[in-house]
Chain A
Amino acid sequence: MSELHDPNAPQATSDLSNTGRMDVSAVLDEGRASVPDSIREVVFNLDDVHIFYGDFEAVSDVTMQIGKNEITAFIGPSGCGKSTLLRSFNRMNDLIPGARVEGLLAYHGFNIYAPEVDPIEVRRRIGMVFQKPNVFPKSIYENVAYGPKVNGMKVNMDDLVEDCLTRAALWDEVKDDLKKSAYALSGGQQQRLVIARCIAVKPEVILMDEPCASLDPIATAKIEDLMKELAADYTIVIVTHNMQQAARVSDRTAFFTADVDAKGVRHGRLVEYGPTRSIFTAPNEPRTEDYISGRFG
């Protein structure tokens, strides 16, 4: 499962839209395609979640569960609220003035929007990887060591840095340059450094907001392989615009779309959620079918 994608291999994922249908099912990961229909162990439980920016309801009425050690992909057209929903999982939306969450968003049964919850405690357990690799303007070593340091973790830092960089499949490329600026790395390496930085604080969940959006196909393939490896120990939720990516890496897929209400305002809505194989091969909703076959979005 861990071998790198061969960049020269014929890309079953390439755009077949000129045939009228993108055959995404061809890239389904056979190893991961066998998830059961029901989730065995629930990490996140969402019940009637609505997310507002001021008066604007960006996401309305989402009810779903995220399973432990699974990779869950959020797909859907731009403006459907999938990133907004993802950022509410570790309370990063708190940083946007006027953002507010209604309904139940529970992490192992604890409502993370309860008034006595400290968002910092939430974020220590639920890490995040952003669209643009946001390495700190520091050395590679310090980038990884930053999280454990600010969290006061008592560990052998050298070992931890090596371990995290190894797990992020970056160690061999940077082991002689640990003191060099992280900005000297390529975009794909930076994103793997961000993942190493994220797992250094030993989170349970890693949220990824379009982690490959600014990367080339080879770097993307590396990140995808990495995600599959990490899924053994972490619960991963990924937002992606790339349906092939969702098909390649995820166990379950949630399809969101934007509904326009009577006043012409768009609200994000969960259309369909299930094992990735059934979403891509036998969707229940016609809108899902339209989207994954490239007729809309």
Chain B
Amino acid sequence: MSATLERPFDAPADIDLRGHGQPLVDKTFRWILFLCLFIGIAFLAVLLAYVIIKGWPRLDSRLWTNMPSIRRPEQAGAQSAITGTLWVIAFTALFSLPIGFLSAVYLEEYAKPTSRFARFVEVNIQNLAAVPSIVYGILGLAIFARALALGQTVITAGLTLALLVLPVVIVSTREALRAVPQNIRHGSLALGATLWQTTWRQTMPAAVPGMATGTILALSRAIGEAAPLLLLGAVTFISFNPTGPFSAYTTLPIQIYNWTKESREEFQVLAAATIVLLLVILLAMNAVAILIRNRTQKRW
């Protein structure tokens, strides 16, 4: 066999299987697509490289064992911000997950698909997800901090961030429920199970992977939020760990914001190191979400 395509002597004259080369448009388009992808990824890579290089000298245990300090940047750490973030996120999850899950179950399993109320709520949940987070900060300040007199505390931040991520939790839970095949519900109902038994024992367990993924993504959004918390008094200098829901607090994004405002170079380095820490936490959470999704993929 020769490597080149030799023309059999008795082949019909109108057959030519050799390609005529890729048309120019085809090639150009391929490059434009790649370029767009490259721009997005390159910016992220540069950003990541910048903060890692800049924060490298401070990426050590001081970052999570020491408290912030204004006078001695070489001793300063972000421990109060780390514990503050954990406290706030715990309360965010506590408030947003039960309400979000159950709202989604109502809309997806209980409300009639023809119900006007359900459709009205559905449209508005989509809208709520698009409201800028600073607006939730104003709302939290007016209602939780002032009207309910909860003050500038962990619980106020938790409630406000819970409102912020609630639409995301509801939408992702609904999608997870919708992905459960209808015939599983019918199989359960045909055995004489009630709607509650069907939802609780069949539909929700089957939707858990999707719900967990959506939940983790929603909470990682809350972890990265700074804007609403700026209004809710997280800006104050905090050099102690929160002791309970009514304790003052700071969080990682706020701590980063505070340090970048400082003029001394050491604080800039510290801020970069804290950014790396925050990114690692977020990437770890997303990795867990992906892991859950891959581990529990169902074949229906």
Contact = CB atoms under 8 A, between A and B. Distances in A.
A134 interface: yes
A67 interface: no
Interface residues of A, number: 26
A128 B190 contact: yes
Interface in A235-258: none
Contacts of B183: 130, 132, 134
Given A137-B206, A150-B197, A120 B192 contact: yes
Nearest to B112: A97
Contacts of B190: 90, 92, 123, 127-128, 130, 198
Given A123-B190, A124-B192, A194-B187, A134 B114 contact: no
Interface string A120-140: 110110011010101111000
A201 interface: yes
A247 B181 CA distance: 33
A66 to B, nearest CB: 18
Contacts of B299: 183
A146 interface: yes
A77 interface: no
B184 A134 contact: yes
A238 to B, nearest CB: 15
User: Which residue, of B192, B194, B197, B202, has the highest number of chain A Cβ atoms within 10 A?
Assistant: B192
Contact of B186 (A130, A183, A201): A130
A121 B192 CA distance: 7
A136 B187 contact: yes
Contacts, number: 70
A95 B189 contact: yes
B192 A147 contact: yes
A127 B184 contact: no
A151 interface: yes
Interface residues of B, number: 24
A197 interface: yes
B146 interface: no
Contacts of A97: 112-114
Interface string B181-220: 1011111111111100100011001100000000000000
A97 B206 CA distance: 24
- Tell me the interface secondary structure of chain B in the complex: helix
Contacts of B202: 136
Contact of B201 (A124, A132, A150, A183): A150
Given A137-B298, A183-B299, A147 B191 contact: yes
A197 B192 CA distance: 12
A146 B188 contact: yes
Contact of B191 (A121, A137, A150): A150
Contacts of A130: 183, 186-187, 190
Contacts of A92: 186, 189-190
Interface string A140-151: 000000110011
Contacts of A98: 114
Interface in A87-103: 90, 92, 95, 97-98
A197 B186 contact: no
Given A121-B192, A128-B190, A137 B184 contact: yes
A127 B113 CA distance: 26
B198 to A, nearest CB: 8
Given A97-B113, A137-B298, A151 B192 contact: yes
Q: Which of A92, A123, A198 has the most CB of B within 10 A?
A: A123
Contacts of B206: 137
Contacts of A151: 191-193
B206 to A, nearest CB: 5
A135 B188 CA distance: 10
A198 B190 CA distance: 8
B115 to A, nearest CB: 10
Given A97-B113, A134-B181, A137-B184, A197 B191 contact: yes
A91 B280 CA distance: 53
B189 A123 contact: yes
Nearest to B191: A147
B112 A201 contact: no
Contacts of A147: 191-193
Nearest to B180: A137
A140 to B, nearest CB: 14
Nearest to A131: B183
A217 to B, nearest CB: 23
B186 A150 contact: no
Nearest to A135: B187
7 contacts: A97-B114, A120-B192, A134-B186, A147-B191, A147-B193, A150-B197, A198-B191
Given A130-B183, A134-B183, 12 more contacts: A97-B114, A123-B190, A124-B191, A127-B190, A128-B190, A130-B190, A134-B184, A150-B192, A150-B193, A151-B191, A183-B299, A198-B191
Interface of B: 112-114, 181, 183-194, 197, 201-202, 205-206, 298-300
**Can you list the 7 inter-chain pairs with the closest CB atoms, starting with the nearest?**
A124-B192, A134-B183, A147-B191, A128-B190, A134-B187, A150-B193, A123-B192
